[in-house]
Chain A
Amino acid sequence: MKRSGGILLFVLVLAIIGPWLSPHDYLSTNFDDMLRSPGLSGLHLFGTDDLGRDLFVRTMLGIRVTLLVAVVASLVSLVIGVTYGAVAGYVGGRVDAVMMRFVDTLYALPFIFFVILLMVAFERNFLLIFVAIGAINWLDMARIVRGQTLSLREREFVSAARLMGVSTARIIFRHITPNLLGIVVVYVTLTIPQAILVESFLSFLGLGVQEPQTSLGALVDAGVNQMEGASWMLLIPAAVLALILMSFNFLGDAMRDFFDVRQTP
């Protein structure tokens, strides 16, 4: 937990201060210095891309953008999903049926279309990407939480609370939600990587952030096409991406084990 937290912190700090340490910026092209391999020459630590832009600074920018997208999107999905799922699962009956039908409806809507329409209707914008990704992911969260609530609700401690006349809202937020923590934490740590992956999928479809801005997904997508001639264009952003994803995952696991300590309800 410490190690992955440390790595994430290091990556974050590097992404914030890194660009200031470099003599280059993220948007200047240099047609005499294209596809330079990584190294100290010209102070291009990570080399340059196919337009001669410094990849170190661009990778740092990509990290910032990607993390921002992922964290905000996950928070959006967390808040909506947990509330929605817990309410549906606990209240149950017709409310549950209607609420889950609604989720089914949203599921059945084609993702790419939803995104394209959003992108068009509000003109392309950064914030929208977060909202779009978060709006997609909360569905999964709601499902999982509901499923878990459904079985939690039948546990003795909940029945006991009910018998003692505790209000529904209080049961949901004081008794059910804390017990969802384990699964929710595991799930959020899976949601952040998922959000990152969705962002890169959008980049693959060309619907991600606008050039010359970039994200790890966009860098990886560009790198894939260069993987044979300029492998660093793929390897560096992909490694950073994998490192971040893994750190989140390890962090999540560790937190899971940590929460698991409380076993008594």
Chain B
Amino acid sequence: MLLRLLGAIPTLLLVIVLAFLMVHAAPGGPFDDERVLPTDVAANIQAAYHLDEPLPQQFTRYMAGLLRGDLGPSYRYRDYTVSELIGSGFPISLQLGALAMALALLVGISSGTVAALKQGSMLDRVVMSFAMTGISIPVFVVAPVLVLLLAVKLQWLPAGWSGESGFAKFVLPVITLALPQIAYIARLTRASMIDVLGCDFIRTARSQGLGSKAIIRVHALKPAMLPVLSYMGPAIAAILTGTVVVEEVFGIPGLGQFFVRGALNRDYTLVLGIVIFYAALIISLNLVVDILYGFIDPRVRQR
């Protein structure tokens, strides 16, 4: 376990180096604007942020800061440090992502299982066509359509993100975000469940007279969850991508929005900070998934 954790360090380092090179390779700088600055003013600002130094020196400076836990000042939000921005954006993205993920797993797995059990039935078809619809419409269409219907026309839910509307402001973004994942997980669960139900050990269990509920709970669900578990990583990545759109459409001050803005504005430190933060997060989540994997499928653990 400790070894795996140590193994994550080179990965993280690689991510930092790659990300650093990539942000700096992108054309344009953080202080470029249509209102072009007089040369000496521009030079002065570059100097204030050490952007006039050679790249290796900037990298060393950045790494030194990183080791002290300092992610540097943001270039785009000049009154804030990157750590402050991550601290303000991440809890929101996390709530959003976690709620969407929970909703997706709950609805996805149960509807997928039901569809698999009743394979070919009307119910199966309904669930699957719903799932298809869910993955057939881009998030950036679903979001504005939902806003138009539920917020503008019916005025049931808020259209944007303002501090005080409580839990209600989560409803539309979470549904929008979860929809494609529900569809996806339902399909995966169904496919894998059908696979498992066709396996010998299930047939044996059946022939021994076990009821289908027991079969699902005791024997089928665990192995059938393997592809879904494998999919957790990508699902998190997809939700991250999704949050970008959703945060943009609903004006949610999460990390996704900061990231896109940061990238478009060449806010090097903010982008790097978020990349490093997410990289560390994803790496640890993957560790968790791997461990869970071994737990669910003992055969993996053997060697």
Contact = CB atoms under 8 A, between A and B. Distances in A.
Interface of A: 92-93, 97, 100-101, 104-105, 107-114, 116-117, 120-121, 139-140, 143-144, 146-148, 150-151, 154, 182-183, 186, 190, 193, 197, 200-201, 204-205, 217, 220-221, 224, 227-228, 234, 238, 241-242, 245-246, 249-250, 253, 256, 260, 263
B15 A108 contact: yes
Interface residues of B, number: 64
Interface of B: 7-8, 10-11, 14-15, 18-19, 22-23, 25-27, 128-129, 132-133, 135-141, 144-145, 148, 180, 184, 187, 191-192, 194-195, 198, 223, 226-227, 229-231, 233-234, 237, 241, 244-245, 259-260, 263, 271, 274-275, 278-279, 282-283, 286, 293, 297, 299-300, 302-303
A68 B19 CA distance: 30
8 contacts: A109-B22, A110-B271, A117-B26, A147-B230, A148-B230, A246-B129, A246-B132, A256-B191
Contacts of A186: 187, 191
- The interface centre, meaning the residue of A101, A113, A204, A250 with most chain B CB atoms within 10 A of its CB, is A113
A159 to B, nearest CB: 11
Given A101-B11, A117-B22, A204-B140, 4 more contacts: A110-B19, A190-B135, A201-B138, A246-B129
B241 A105 contact: no
Contacts of A144: 227, 230-231
A253 B183 CA distance: 14
B291 to A, nearest CB: 14
Contact of A227 (B15, B144, B233): B144
Contacts, number: 158
Contacts of A183: 191-192, 195, 227
Contacts of B145: 227
Contacts of A242: 133, 136-137
Contacts of A111: 237, 241
A190 B302 CA distance: 32
Contacts of A228: 148
Contacts of A97: 7
B293 A147 contact: yes
Nearest to B286: A104
B15 A263 contact: no
B34 to A, nearest CB: 17
A91 to B, nearest CB: 12
